[in-house]
Structure 1
């Protein structure tokens, strides 16, 4: 883990994620984000990474003193959806979440390696596939960017003010 006041980066190994929270990294996190307005979480693209990513996001929100339950709920919903999509719908080995706060909003990004999986999933029924629509309805903005290297970044913006979600004029 490397930390600066401007940005904190946390990279977990597959072993860290598998043993979570019984890993040395978990204990060092409480003080690691002090004063950092942005962070990146680099996790292996495995199912177990989703609750770890939620936990780390919740801890970062605490460090940022973001206590509004609406903001917290929305942020955790977005993190869960984007991490799950990156793990289930790509053959990525690593996913990277970035969180950045300014005065008016929180920017959430999820980067994967962008390659599509060809394996059919057990969840091919109509009860799945609505997550990004739900995310779009509770964010200020939602988008995606595919880099020249094929890596995909999906981003969402959550308002930190009391304005309703949706595009702002």
Structure 2
């Protein structure tokens, strides 16, 4: 059976999950470079995004809502360890130096912005698990996928302690 790592979602699905218009999300990609390293649309292909990409898109959205310019938010999100932060159960820390977000957080020089990923990440995981269940078409597929993901996250968190 597929896992959360195997599922990729479309631009429209990700935009909907982030509660932004598809056109807005495409502008973030095309004009500002958000998630340019992923599988992008092209001739005969549709863009698709992994769980990690979705977390990074959420980071960008949070920064944009804090009035960070879209291009700076995209750059920070693209380079952020969002998946690691979620897997560790910690918020993502973005440093602000001289009034501007910094790519790398320096605790001695920066003011820290903490972007919580826990609630969004688990909601996203549920959504991915529903897609797995739909593709599997078996009773209990959602619970199996969810349990697998929870076990992987919990094991990661235990190993980090």
Give TM-score scaled by structure 2 length: 0.31
**Higher helix residue share:** 2
- Larger RCO, structure (CA 8 Å, separation 6 or more): 2
**Higher strand residue share:** 1
Query: Higher Cα Rg: structure 1 or 2?
Result: 2
